[in-house]
Structure 1
Amino acid sequence: MAEIQLVDVSMRDGNQSLWGAVGLNTAQVLQIAPVVDRVGFHAIDFTSSTSMGMGVRTFKEDPWERIRLARAAMPNTPLQVIGTGLRFFSWERQSPDFMQLVYDRFVANGISRIVVLEPMLDVDAILETARMCRKAGAAEVIVALTYTISEMHDDDFYGGLAARIAGCPDIDRAYIKDPSGLLTAERARTLVPAIVGNLGGKPLELHSHCTIGLPSLSYLAAAELGVEVLHVACGPLGSGSSLPNVHRLLVNLREMGHTVRIDDGALGRVSDYFTRLAKAEGLPAGVAQEYDASFLRHQVAGGVMSTTRRQLAEIHLEHRFEEVMTEAIQVRAELGYPIMVTPFPQMVCSQALYNVIGKERYVNVSDQVIRYVLGIFGRPIAPIDPEVKDRILSKPRAKEIMAEPPSPPLSELRKRFPANISDEEFLLRATMPAEEVNAMIAAGPAKRHYNPDLRPLLKLLEGMQECPEGSDIVIEKDDFRLELRSA
């Protein structure tokens, strides 16, 4: 049996899938990072432009500072960023020189492993991005072969993709990215050999979500078929719409005779920490999911589902979630079956939400959907429904977008911002609202210490601060009673 390595996704994809991408701040990451570094993971799936943006928006924290601090706290484990082709923060393509700066700064700040995720599986864009990552100095460049189900996406399709990237010296390995958790053990037994046989000796990894419980078997099948690295999550950040829980998978892999060189003691401490954090912050733990055949139709990944649920809750329409998912199936078909990976599931689900709560379907259409229909993201896999296409492109906003100039080159874009700011601040200001970046800078350095066991006391003290002056305070728990009376 083979030796299997693990990539941990708790800090990025597990958080994004289960906690809406806003569950971890810098202090919470740093508190456990030194222990994570001792576990023996092949790498840590650490960040993306989406999670960086959420850090700025939600915590007013500098995402570049977080990378640097995490790198110092985890010097022995590569940190990974996942990109979306030639894009950064926004869904529109940036100029090549802008993206080269992005990858340069990732590596300079402590990222050594970069995943190239091209949403349209455009091989030319994949190869161009890989060259940028290698030029930036990335130690490992990994291409995401995003898995989906359709008549076009058969084993020959993925085998052909593998063959086209096999000869690129700037690509070190590939991984099957299954954001919706659709890969069955049966399909893995044909898909994995088709890819491995065409990769020219490059290692293959597997990243599959537990949305309908399939990875518990597909991971074990993949390990027997030549997949060398499996992506997992720890404690409450595993299972559910996240990735497989590392503890159960470890037991099963070892039972089958595979070698997994992991420090089980350190791993247990990591899982215990996240369990205590989830309890202290009132965050949900991932639970094993039952098989749901509807996912094979709408293919919406866990992170997008949690975001859609949150959006519906904010407008008090959470009871219409299933209706939105049903509409998403039809929207995806009408848009030519885009692969449900960022940014397309967000587009599809947002449009489905507009269609459900609006007076008429496609009355409200986002700029992103218009750009998709215009072909700005690339050519759709199948033709867009003609009626839907005409309805979208007839909108005045579509004509405005068609008239927009292409992304400016880096030299021109720099002129819009002060010359004395760092490259990192420039990249944030060029892609995010100014008020959000200003608020982040005004907030100062992020906190670096966090103890989940102290959180209940801190919440109590915060609540006491909000009490009107002169109020009496009574604290009761079990047989304990404390009264604080104003003088």
Structure 2
Amino acid sequence: MKKVRFTELVLRDGNQSQLATRMPFADFVDVLPELDKAGFESMEVWGGATFDTCLRYLKEDPWERLRKIRKACPNTKLQMLLRGQNLLGYRHYPDDVVRAFINRAVANGIDVIRIFDALNDPRNVELAIEETRKQGAEAQAAICYTISPIHDLDSYVRLVRQFEDMGATSLCIKDMAGIMLPDQAEALVRAIKAVSDLPLHIHTHTTTGMAMMSLLKSVEAGADVIDTAMSSFSGGTSHAPTETMAAALEAYGYDTGLNQRQLKKINDLLSPVQEKYIEDGSLDPRVLTTRTDALVYQVPGGMISNLIAQLKMYNAGDRLEEVFDEVPLVRKDLGYPPLVTPMSQMVGVQAVNNVLGKERYANISREIRAYIAGEYGRAPGEINPELVKKVLGDAEPLQVRFADTMEPGLEQAKKDAGPLARDIDDVLSYATFPQIAQDFFAEREKREQNIQKYTIRRVEK
């Protein structure tokens, strides 16, 4: 029987796409043992925006969260999403920080690291692939799928060959906006399988309604693993429902390794959590709908929920469609970068600035300036010369890998993190998000000091 395996995304990308990653550990702790029994190829539970959100909003230690998940799920491979040289942040970090972070991620329980670069610049994933292999974990190299005048099958196949040369142990097509049509999925999978024997994973979103068709055609073309999310947190900006895809593929004669009764047990635990988020307003109904206009503006699921939250902060929620119209224009000006973190956030912020400002590019974010200067890597295409002139003047953008210009940062982070940083994991939290980590450390200290200790003694009569 033909086999296809599943990676479950509900705790990371499903959570990120529908809830802007605001799901606290307490809301999913009870479902972990049942997820561990399901038979998934892996579960994506960490990385992406979860790290930042744990520290910034949930006031949870992301490292401790990972250790708890590992303890509750001893039988399933745990997977994370890593942004190459950006780690889980929004800028590049020195090589020694990247190596230490990967070391600790694996030590705390990660088995598979999916590694991507927002620009598909292979220079920005090479070190992470090498270090992941060194630490004994699976290094899954991801192609950020996008559509533009400069992206085609040949460009993706060249990238696959480079990933293989770097030592990747598996591959992933990462369609973060859900724009990959079924025929495109089939053609790309066949093209990759023609040049590589590495296991191929398919990641896509239901944003445009294409996901289930594209996943089916991908499997028929030879894909080995597909990404899905449990039905309570599927659809809309999230992913194809796990139960539905498993049933469909089994009907076509595929062995999925999953059991529908166990999947129902899992979803029965998640359904009340979803209902709670709908009732308290955490789950915006707009992220549950199908947005076919995303086929034009290519905005990924996680970006939509973040744009909605950002516009609400400015009391400008009614201008979402204007921002969507502006996104592809900004993307073209920047040389068609794929809209994936951190580029999706950067392009999104600039689109909001352009819409809410007096004129386009009156306010250029610091991150966009750094991108134009070459600090994020090689732009896929030509950046608008007028924009380059406005930002750089007569200076030239950087041509080498930006991390090669950086001094080691780990020892300095150890010094700067201060006495509230208790171990190397805290130091790495500080190295990636200095101020946010310091605020978290201070709140943690205060919280622990406020815990009253009582001594219970027998009272003699």
Match of 1:244 in 2: 240
Q: Cα distance, 1:388 vs. partner?
A: 1.8
Match of 1:16 in 2: 16
What secondary structure is seen at the aligned counterpart in 2 of 1:143?
strand
- The Cα of 1:93 is off from its aligned counterpart by 1.3
Q: 1:89 to 1:253 in 2, by over 3 A?
A: closer
Is the deviation greater in 327-336 or in 412-421? 412-421
State the secondary structure of the residue aligned to 2:149. Answer: coil
- Give the corresponding residue for 1:473: none
Question: What is the aligned partner in structure 1 of residue 262 from structure 2?
Answer: 266
**Displacement of 1:137 after TM fit?**
2.4
Alignment of 1:462-481 (within 5 A): none
Distance 1:290 1:61, change over 3 A: closer
Aligned counterpart, 2:453: none
Change (3 A) 1:251 1:276: same
Identity %: 30
CA contact (8 A) 2:82 2:88 kept: no
Q: Distance in 1 between matches of 2:58 and 2:94?
A: 29
Whole-angstrom CA distance in 1 between matches of 2:130 and 2:380: 25
Once superposed, which parts of structure 1, at least 4 consecutive aligned residues long, lie more than 4 Å away? 285-291
**Match for residue 200 of structure 2 among 204, 208, 230:** 204
Instruction: Give the drift of 1:279.
Output: 1.2
Deviates more, 1:148-157 or 1:329-338: 148-157
- 2:455 corresponds in structure 1 to none
Deviation at 1:98, TM superposition (A): 1.0
- Counterpart code for 1:422: D
User: Residues 298-313 of structure 1 correspond to what in structure 2 (within 5 A)?
Assistant: 298-313=297-312
How far did 1:412 drift? 3.2
Query: Could you tell me how far 1:444 is from its partner in structure 2?
Result: 4.7
* Contact in 1 for aligned 2:12/2:48 (Cα 8 Å): no
Partner of 1:442: 446
Residue 158 (structure 1) aligns with: 156
Quote the residue 1:461 is aligned against: none
CA distance in 1, matches of 2:291, 2:63: 39
The reply to whether residue 44 of structure 1 matches residue 43 of structure 2 is: yes
Correspondence for 1:359: 358
Two-structure CA RMSD over aligned residues (Å): 2.3
- Label 1:13 to 1:158 Cα distance change in 2 as closer, same or farther (>3 A): same
For 2:235, the aligned partner's letter is S
Show the counterpart of 1:423.
424
**Equivalent position of 2:219 in the other structure:** 223
Q: CA deviation at 1:110?
A: 0.7
- The answer as to whether partners of 1:103 and 1:132 remain within 8 angstroms in 2 is yes
Give the drift of 1:297: 3.0
1:278 CA drift (Å): 1.4
Cα deviation for residue 151 of structure 1 reads: 2.4
Query: Does the CA contact (< 8 Å) of 1:98 and 1:409 recur in 2?
Result: yes
Q: For the Cα contact (< 8 Å) 1:88–1:94, is it kept in 2?
A: yes
Does residue 181 of structure 2 align to residue 180 of structure 1? no
1:412 is matched with 412
Q: 1:379 to 1:167 in 2, by over 3 A?
A: closer
Equivalences, count? 434
Residues 77 and 441 of structure 1, relative CA distance in 2, 3 Å threshold: farther
Going from structure 1 to structure 2, the CA distance change for 1:407 and 1:338 (only over 3 Å counts) comes to farther
Q: Which of these two proteins has the greater Rg computed from alpha carbons?
A: 1
Residues 202 and 225, structure 2, Cα contact 8 Å, conserved in 1: yes
Please give the per-residue CA displacement for 1:357-392, whole angstroms capped at 9, x wherever unaligned. 111211112111010010101111111111122223
Tell me what 2:272 maps to. 276
| Kept after mapping to 2: 8 A contact 1:116/1:143 | yes
Provide, for residues 161-206 of structure 1, a one-character-per-residue CA deviation record: whole Å limited to 9, x for no partner: 11222244x321001000000111111221111111112x111010
| 235-244 or 416-425, which deviates more | 416-425
Q: CA deviation at 1:88?
A: 3.0
SS for the counterpart of 1:31 is helix
Corresponding position of 2:115: 116
Query: What is the identity, as a one-letter code, of the residue corresponding to 1:38?
Result: K
Q: 1:207 to 1:21 in 2, by over 3 A?
A: same
- Read off the aligned partner of 2:440 and give its amino acid letter: E
Distance 2:244 2:274 in 1: 20
2:296 corresponds to which residue?
297
2:143 aligns to what? 145
* Structure 1: gaps spanning 5 or more residues: 446-487
Deviation of 1:289 after TM superposition, in Å, equals 4.8
- The reply to whether residue 381 of structure 1 matches residue 362 of structure 2 is no
2:240 aligned counterpart, secondary structure:
coil
**CA separation of 1:141/1:442 partners in 2, compared to 1, >3 Å: closer, same or farther?**
farther
1: distance between equivalents of 2:118 and 2:223?
Answer: 23
Please give the per-residue CA displacement for 1:246-291, whole angstroms capped at 9, x wherever unaligned.
1221221122111111122221121121111111233547987546
Which sections of structure 2, spanning at least 5 residues, go unmatched? 450-461
| Corresponding residue of 1:107 | 106
Residues of 1 paired with 2:321 and 2:287: CA distance? Answer: 20
| Rounded Cα–Cα distance in structure 2 between residues aligned with 1:314 and 1:286 | 17
2:300 and 2:406 map into 1 onto residues whose CA distance is 31
